[in-house]
Structure formats: structure tokens, C-alpha cells
Chain A
Amino acid sequence: MSTRTTNIRLAGVGGQGILVASEALCDALLSSGFDVKKSEVHGMAQRGGTVNSDVRFGPKVFSPIIPEGEVDLLLAFEQMEALRYLPSLKAGGVVIVNRQRILPSAVASGKLEYPAEIESRLAEHAAEVISVDGLTLAKEAGSVRSVNICLLGALSRFLDIEESVWESVLTERFRNKGLEANLRVFALGRGNTGTR
């Protein structure tokens, strides 16, 4: 087991299920024997604002928030949010980005432009960019609200966690609500090879 801490930042917009995804991620890491810390902010930020959650794991983790520029894996639930947190990515880091766009108020009303060419800008800085059409995959699996689990599946390819651990984590979490669909959408995300 590596002695260093691995840093994952999940970023998106309030209401996208980011906190549920980071909970499930932590469950899987904990079951795999890592020390885990997680940080997030609740409250005002959730009213349609930017939401992010830091998950850190390794043999021993101190700070719950990721030191600047130390993000190994950036899991962005929304394109512009990937760009927002790009500076926090370390050299050699990986970005997994959902193709969805959610317009902030100033863009929706036409005052500001939504940033252009996001994926190529991501590609300039990241060692690898995985683009996921989470909404389409979630619809395919029959659960529009499970985009977060789809993205978790895409992230899972980069983590040394047994498939059976993911399965039991999802089973525990969704036992009473749409387990089959969530397992399907996770598998679709995990199988996503990042074609753009």
C-alpha cells in the first residue's frame, strides 16, 4: 500500500447528488482498509451554488481538505465546475468530467458567456481527461436521478478497490430504493472508456 495520501475532489452544483456519491466513495475506501477523511460545506452553498467535496485516503490522513494543487483525481459533475477546479489539479492528475452543463444565473440571463472549449482546456493541464455522458447513461439504465452513481462508476476505474466492495457498498446504500438501476448505472459508468 502506498504511504502517500490520494486526493479526490468531487465538484458540481447543488442538487446533483455530489454528497451521496462522496459518501459511497468513502464507504468503499473504508471497507478497503484505508484511513479516510472527507470535507464538504453545507448550508448556503447548496442553494444552486457550487458544491464540492474532498475525499482523502491513505495509511494516515491529517487535513480533511486537500492542499492546493494536490488533487489526484477531479470528478466534475458539470463542465464549468471542472474548469473552476482545474488549478487545484496536480501535475499528472486525471479529470473525469460529466458532459452536462448547468447555467449559473449570470449566464442563463445572457450577461456572461459559458466558457468555451472546456474539454480541450482540461486536456492541456490534465494527464488524462475522461468525458462521461452521465445523463444519457443514467437514462439508459432507467434512473435519470443516478448520474452521480454513473460518475462514481467512472471514477472507480482509477481506484484499487475490489468490484465486490463497490457492489456491497451500493447494495447497502440503495437496498430500498432503486438498487438494480443503480448497479446498472454504476457498471455503465465503470465501463465508460472516455471517448469524446
Chain B
Amino acid sequence: MNTTVLLSGNEAIARGAYEAGVRVAAGYPGTPSTEILENITQYETIYAEWAPNEKVAFEVALGAAFGGARALCTMKHVGVNVASDPLLTASYTGVNRGLVLVSADDPGMHSSQNEQDNRHYARFAKIPMLEPSDSRECRDFTVRAFEISEEYDTPVLLRTTTRVNHGKSTLSLSDPQEPVFGRFECNLQKYVMIPAYAMKRHVIVEERMIRLRELSNTTDLKAIEWGDTSIGVITSGIAYQYVREVLPEASVLKLGMTYPLPDRLIRDFASKVEKLYVVEELDPFLEEQIRSLGIEVIGKERFPIVGELNPKLVAAGFDRSARVLTGPDAREDMGAPTVPSRPPVLCPGCPHRGFFHVLKKMKAIVTGDIGCYTLSVLPPLEVMDTCVCMGASIGSALGIRRAQSPDDRRPVVAVIGDSTFVHSGITGLIDAVYNGTAATICILDNSTTAMTGGQEHPASGKTLMGAPAPKLDLAALARAIGVEDVLVVDPYDLEAVEKALRYATRTDRPSVIITNRPCVLRDRSQKPPKSSIALEMCTGCQVCFRIGCPALESVTADDKLRARINADLCQSCGVCVQVCRFEAIGRPEE
């Protein structure tokens, strides 16, 4: 087989897993990692699943490796925080068969709440790390990562970034290895991490680090490209592509294995160039370690620590006369200031819209979570007061409630999506009931993991591989936890939403409201006639604009700003019909 194809980094990692004979793959959706598992389902030799969260996903993959199957685990950078508990001890137990963890980082935060640099996890967990710089390397390094994992009996971190995951480049496909069926073999001192056994395993981890450093010095997962020796650049990942783009004449040491660092290789390279630079995105991860070898190096004083790099920023870093850029100006400087911005918005017909319109009237403190509904923080809705991490809406609502002074009577409402609730909201709800904290927890159930493009989850009724699955009953779960007031409402029915919110926020015990409309991008089945506005009845009050629906447009008629409905966009959810006080908006059949 020798076909040249154009694949994204994510498609190439999936292909690499297939070629490496992976049998089990698990993950949780998160940009920019999601498409790896979506693509893996095309390979029939691999069992793949969405787990409820990254911790469970990693444990499934670890168990598979214990049990004798090569296993791949995928997640976005912040997902590794969730999976870090098993990860740090899996370093001690080792793996038996190969285990590769893909951490897809998001420098520049295209779709994330922070831009943490997960290279630190390799150091923290004392496991080897590979960093591909294009799709061919995504495939190659995935295959190599499994070999290293087995030879050194350790999980391997394959660290990528958005531009590598979502960038496409060419590679030739190779034939897949036949998946191997191993067996779980009892080995108490290796797999049961009680202190006495774990202490012995820690010694093994430290010995392994010494051998891994040797591998790092001798591996071919690197490239030394000699050019003009007045400038030497050490780099890795996507930054390598930018360096070669803007500095084709420089000498470059491109590292594919970035933890542990190849000390001898770096000393040798440094001794042959006049001036040594490190070009890396985010933290000075390579830079600080190189400096600790006693080598003088130029890094973060020339290349920004904030935001993602691009060819322009890398070029500016090498130009002494250029302004040293310290901020993430990559996106701002692309747009002309005269062009209105086009921020992401809730889709026309999104079931969240009406709910938030009503919630705004409650004058509540609203703790938010991670999902499409976080967009309700933007104008014109501006309903959300906090958003930290997956599941944080519930815990922080309870904390805010406990901190409120007796004269502060604002209700506290947590807003969380169905997939996020299953991911890490359930324990928060248990806390609310256990400790009797009067907060209202709203589960906006749209039957999918919407923000990442609509992935299945335990309450959606289907598996990643397309099989029907038992649908977790969120209302029954809330009742089983002990919530007395569980209200299920249709978010298109604003009156019902308001009634539920007024009731729930006035009780002195925890309450749950569940909205039950599927994501409008999922369910295209219902297409009733479009809503329309009778211009002569529109008074120009502009109240309908407060719901922020893209299908509502302004039009000037009789010198007045009035509303009009864009029929190409309208999904006939009927929210604007209910919002209009002058009955100017209606549906043809009404």
C-alpha cells in the first residue's frame, strides 16, 4: 500500500492507531481532539467508546492495556486535568500492552477556557512525550508511541496542538498490524498500588527515566537540519513549521521526543551554533530545561508566552528591530478595524435561547458551565455570571449560596448541559442534596454534546459506534439522588419555563429543572411553517432583539427600526412569537 492522502492530524492519529494494531480506544469529546475517535470508528478492528468523562476514558484504556490490548485515549488539554489522577499512578503501574494518551492542546483558545501547556504533564507524571508537527508525524509518532510504551512499560503522552490536529497535510498509508490479543496476568506488586508496592514502583519509574533520556538522545524521532550556524533553533511541533517558513537558512534541531529532553544532543547542537534560540508555543518548557543544563538560550523574551504562534510572530522574534510582542495579537491584527466582529451565537431555533431569556428576568446569580449555552454570556442575553470548568456550575452555585449574607435574597441558579452534567455534574448535585443547599440546578438537556459537533453520551441513547444504548434518565437520576422538586419543561414554552423557575427558586431546598428539546442541529425533522412579522403591527419596540436570534433582522420602515424574520434562518421555534407584546409576530397557521 502506498497511496498518498491528505489527512488532518486527527485523522492521521486514528490511522496510526489502526496501523499500530490498537484494539481499544476511549475518550471524551473536546476541541481539538474530537475527530480522532470519530474517525477511529471506520476501522472495524478497533472497539471505540465515548466515556462519561476523561478520567473514566483513561481508566478504560489503562485497563485495556493491563488486559493485553493496545489502547488509545484521547482528550483535550483540560480533559487531562480530569484524567490526571489515574495518569500519575499509571506511570507507576506501567502498562503491559501499549497505552498512548493524546492530549490535544489549544493555544490561542479557539474553543477552550484556558491555554494550559500540557507538556508539563509528561514531566509531572514522569512519562515520555512525543510531539508531531504535521499529519505524517501524527501517524508515525502514534505507531512509535505504542512501541515505546511497550518497550519501557509506560504510558506515552502524544501531545498535539490545534494547528496540528486540524491542519491537513500529506502522508502515505501503511498496512495495519494485526491486533494482538494478550491476557491479563496477575501481578500484585505491579498493579496494586498500596504504599509498600508503590514505593518499589517509584524506584522503577526513576530508573525508567534514565533509560528514556538515553532513548531521547539516540532516537531518530528528531531532525538536525544544518544551515547557517550563526543562528541555531531548537523547536518542536507546529512551531517547527513556522521556523522553517520564516528562517529557511537557519540550523534547526527539531525534537520529536520532547520529554525527557536529549541533554547530550542539545549540548552538542548548542556548541556548534553561535546563537541559540528556542521557539515554542506557550510556556518556556524546553527553554527552562535547556537553561538548567547551563546553556545560554534566547526564548520567551522574543516569542510570546500568551496565545498561539504564527509565522509573523516567529519572524518578529528573530528580528532585533521588531517590537517584542507579548500579547496574543495574532487574531486582532488579521481583521480590519472597520469590520463589525462576528462572534459565535446560539443557532436560530436553539432551545437554550428562550430559557435564558426567561432566566434573565429572575435576577438570579447564574453559575454557568462548559457548552454552547456558555454563549449566553454574550450580548444581548448576558445571563451567565461564572464559567470555570466542566461541572463547576453546580459546586460553585452551592458555594455562592453558602456565602450569601442573610439580606442577599438573589436566587442562585446553576446551568449545565446534559453531557456536562453526566461528565461531572452528578457529584455536585449529590452535594446539594446531602448538605441541603437551596440552589436551583438547571440541566439543559438537548440530547447531545453540542458544542463539539454533536457527539453521543450516556443520556443520548446511542454509542460512539452507532449502537442503540440505554438512555440515562436524568429526571429519575435526580430523584434517586434525593431531589424532591424535579421539574421537566419544554424550553420553547416560555410560560412553562417561567413558572418552573419561579417555583424552583423560591423553595428552601435544592431543586432541578430539566429542559427537554433536542439540539436544533440534531433534530431537523420538525419543520412547521416559518414565523413571520406583520410590519404594520410592529411598533419598533425592539424587545424581540433581546433574545439574540440570528433570524431576526432590523429593517427601517417609515423611519422606524422594525423587525423582520429571515425565513432562510428561521426554525419556527416560536420564542419570538411569545416575546412580542403586540402580537406582530405569528405563524401562518395561527
> Chain A residues in contact with chain B, CB under 8 A?
13-14, 26-27, 30, 35-50, 61-65, 67-68, 80-81, 83-88, 103-110, 112-115
B405 at the interface (CB under 8 A from A): no
B312: chain A residues at CB < 8 Å are: 67-68
> Chain B residues in contact with chain A, CB under 8 A?
4-6, 31-32, 34-35, 110-111, 134, 162-163, 166-170, 238, 241-242, 244-246, 310-312, 315, 333-336, 338-347, 372, 375, 379-380, 451-453, 542, 545, 548, 550, 552-554, 561
Q: How far is the CA of A37 from the CA of B241 in the complex (A)?
A: 11
Contacts A35-B170, A104-B342 known; A42 to B335 CB distance under 8 Å?
Answer: no
Q: When the two chains form their complex, are residues B310 and A65 in contact, meaning their CB atoms are under 8 A apart? A: yes
Q: When the two chains form their complex, are residues A109 and B554 in contact, meaning their CB atoms are under 8 A apart? A: yes
A38: chain B residues at CB < 8 Å are: 6, 167-169
Q: When the two chains form their complex, are residues B110 and A30 in contact, meaning their CB atoms are under 8 A apart? A: no
A-B pairs with the 10 shortest C-beta distances? A43-B111, A43-B31, A110-B554, A64-B167, A47-B344, A67-B311, A49-B344, A44-B111, A38-B168, A109-B545
Q: When the two chains form their complex, are residues A64 and B345 in contact, meaning their CB atoms are under 8 A apart? A: no
Beyond A87-B334, A108-B552, 15 additional contacts (C-beta under 8 Å) are: A13-B342, A39-B166, A42-B35, A43-B453, A44-B344, A47-B346, A48-B344, A50-B342, A62-B241, A67-B315, A84-B339, A103-B553, A104-B343, A113-B340, A115-B340
Q: When the two chains form their complex, are residues A84 and B345 in contact, meaning their CB atoms are under 8 A apart? A: no
Q: How far is the CA of A87 from the CA of B542 in the complex (A)?
A: 35
Closest to A65 in B: B310
Q: How far is the CB of A142 from chain B (nearest CB, A)?
A: 17
Q: When the two chains form their complex, are residues A110 and B334 in contact, meaning their CB atoms are under 8 A apart? A: no
Q: How far is the CB of A129 from chain B (nearest CB, A)?
A: 16
Q: How far is the CA of A108 from the CA of B566 in the complex (A)?
A: 10
Interchain CB contact (< 8 A) of A36 among B34, B166, B168, B545 = B168
Q: How far is the CB of A181 from chain B (nearest CB, A)?
A: 19
Q: How far is the CB of B204 from chain A (nearest CB, A)?
A: 40
Q: What are 20 pairs between A and B in contact, CB < 8 Å? A: A30-B6, A36-B168, A37-B168, A37-B169, A42-B166, A46-B344, A47-B344, A47-B347, A63-B311, A65-B311, A67-B245, A68-B333, A68-B334, A80-B339, A84-B334, A85-B335, A88-B334, A105-B343, A108-B554, A109-B548
B242: chain A residues at CB < 8 Å are: 62-63
A26: chain B residues at CB < 8 Å are: 6, 168
A14: chain B residues at CB < 8 Å are: 344
Q: When the two chains form their complex, are residues A36 and B6 in contact, meaning their CB atoms are under 8 A apart? A: yes
Q: How far is the CA of A62 from the CA of B314 in the complex (A)?
A: 13
Q: When the two chains form their complex, are residues A63 and B245 in contact, meaning their CB atoms are under 8 A apart? A: yes
Q: How far is the CB of B545 from chain A (nearest CB, A)?
A: 4
Q: How far is the CA of A81 from the CA of B163 in the complex (A)?
A: 22
Q: When the two chains form their complex, are residues A41 and B553 in contact, meaning their CB atoms are under 8 A apart? A: no
Q: When the two chains form their complex, are residues A84 and B545 in contact, meaning their CB atoms are under 8 A apart? A: no
Q: How far is the CB of A162 from chain B (nearest CB, A)?
A: 18
Closest to B350 in A: A47
Q: How far is the CA of A40 from the CA of B545 in the complex (A)?
A: 31
Q: How far is the CA of A13 from the CA of B238 in the complex (A)?
A: 26
Q: How far is the CA of A49 from the CA of B335 in the complex (A)?
A: 14
Q: How far is the CB of A29 from chain B (nearest CB, A)?
A: 9
Interchain CB contact (< 8 A) of A65 among B163, B341, B375 = B163
Q: When the two chains form their complex, are residues A109 and B167 in contact, meaning their CB atoms are under 8 A apart? A: no
B6: chain A residues at CB < 8 Å are: 26-27, 30, 36, 38
Q: How far is the CB of A30 from chain B (nearest CB, A)?
A: 5
Interchain CB contact (< 8 A) of B341 among A42, A86, A88, A104 = A104
